[in-house]
Structure 1
Amino acid sequence: MASGRDHDRATSLWALPMAGLLAMLLGGWAGALGGLAFLMGGLWLSPDLDTHSRALNRWGPLRWIWWPYRRLLPHRSLFSHGPVIGMALRLGWLLILLLLVWQALAWLPLHWVPNIQEGLPRLLQQLVGQPNALLAVLLGLEASVWLHLILDGDPLPAEWRARRRR
């Protein structure tokens, strides 16, 4: 199993090649976004957010937002380290928190806060309008999970394989 420093080094090393690959497949700007997503996925949205890790410490004073995630998911479980599902849970958790903060700000009488009823559909419309960019971001995030699993030595830990055989 790789150390946090090894994960960080490999993520940094592979970010540019990942951006290049995604640029060839999906276009220049989409590739750049995918490379950035790969970097963010490996450094800030690591599967190791379920432990006291370098990725968790990068969140600084906001690391408390991962407390429920850390308490509910065992380390290296299918739900924390699993392909697709692990990143989906982390992104879902962040989305829930973001929507809660956005809704709380919408109740305040601040003129600079966009109305959630207006802003959210507009944001979703922009995301759907850029399918290559969205795909590149999702691929970059998921590729960072696979790199993490490969560095840990086994992309499909024995506990997962045992559950599949039952």
Structure 2
Amino acid sequence: MPSGRTHDQITLWSLPLVAALTFGQTHSSNLTLLVSGSFLFGGLMFGPDLDIYSCQYQRWGWFKPIWLPYQKSLRHRSFLSHGPLIGTALRILYLAIWIAVFGVLGLAVAQKIGNLGWNWQDLVFSYGRLIGEHHIEILAVYIGLELGAMSHYLSDWGGSAYKRFKKKGLSGWRPPKTIKRAKITAPTRRSSKSIAEGRMKKEEGRRKK
């Protein structure tokens, strides 16, 4: 598995390619900036290795503790952290919950102190309208985050596959075979009657000889 420094280099080297491809497809500097920035953020701070004590985890600084429940809930390199699409979606949902918690607490304090003229229903409605108006930009951010995560777990997979190939050759690409365990049967006890019958048959055989 590549080191954290190698992952960072892959992200930085891939950034110009991601930006060029995005601009070539969208012809929009705004979407290119969103995808490229999200790709950089996803590769350096929002990638799959947030499930362990990694470089990505350490870069969150004072906010590192919010990822501790995430780490304790997931096994490293599980499908929920390193899986395509679902890993990024789960991290977005997890971070959104924390942002919502801090945001609600902050707004509640601000409303108490400043007597702001709004209610929670208006706030939810305005956020829903904001998401509807900027759904293309939100999709661009998600694509950038997913590409940043993809650069990580594809390099993990490629490094592991190369090591298997170097060690075992072409056979290293095959999935490991499962070893079938032999079925062990417990020895059966023979009754005294069957033992006596067996001895009698042996004696009859000797007499005939």
Residues 35, 110 of structure 1: alpha-carbon distance in 2 compared, 3 angstrom cutoff: farther
Q: Which protein shows a greater Rg?
A: 2
* Match status 1:144 vs 2:145: no
Contact 1:23/1:29, CA 8 A, preserved across alignment: no
- Cα distance per residue 1:10-40 (max 9 Å; x no partner): 1112123212222222322111100000011
Residues 97, 112 of structure 1: alpha-carbon distance in 2 compared, 3 angstrom cutoff: farther
Write the distance in 2 (CA, Å) between the matches of 1:83 and 1:77: 11
Aligned residues: 158
Deviation of 1:120 (Å) = 4.2
- Cα distance per residue 1:113-161 (max 9 Å; x no partner): 8865434432342332233322211111111121111111249x9xxxx
Residues 79, 119 of structure 1: alpha-carbon distance in 2 compared, 3 angstrom cutoff: same
Q: Look up the equivalent residue of 1:143 and give its one-letter code.
A: L
Contact 1:22/1:31, CA 8 A, preserved across alignment: yes
Contact 1:56/1:63, CA 8 A, preserved across alignment: yes
Query: Which ranges of 4 or more aligned residues in structure 1 deviate by more than 3 Å?
Result: 110-121
Residues 7, 111 of structure 1: alpha-carbon distance in 2 compared, 3 angstrom cutoff: farther
Contact 1:106/1:115, CA 8 A, preserved across alignment: no
Write the distance in 2 (CA, Å) between the matches of 1:39 and 1:112: 40
Deviation of 1:106 (Å) = 2.1
Task: Say which of 90, 113, 122 aligns to 2:126.
Answer: 122
Q: Which runs of 5+ in 2 are unaligned?
A: 162-174, 176-209
Task: Say which of 135, 153, 156 aligns to 2:157.
Answer: 153
1:12-161 equivalence runs, <5 A: 12-26=12-26, 27-108=28-109, 109-111=112-114, 116-154=120-158
Q: Which runs of 5+ in 1 are unaligned?
A: none
Contact 1:103/1:116, CA 8 A, preserved across alignment: no
Q: TM-score, normalised by structure 2?
A: 0.68
3-state DSSP class of the match of 1:153? helix
Q: TM-score, normalised by structure 1?
A: 0.84
> What percentage of residue pairs aligned between the two structures are identical?
33
Structure number with the bigger relative contact order (C-alpha 8 A, sep ≥ 6) is 1
3-state DSSP class of the match of 1:2? coil
Instruction: Name the stretch that deviates more: 129-138 or 108-117.
Output: 108-117
Deviation of 1:111 (Å) = 3.7
Residues 14, 106 of structure 1: alpha-carbon distance in 2 compared, 3 angstrom cutoff: same
Match of 1:8 in 2: 8
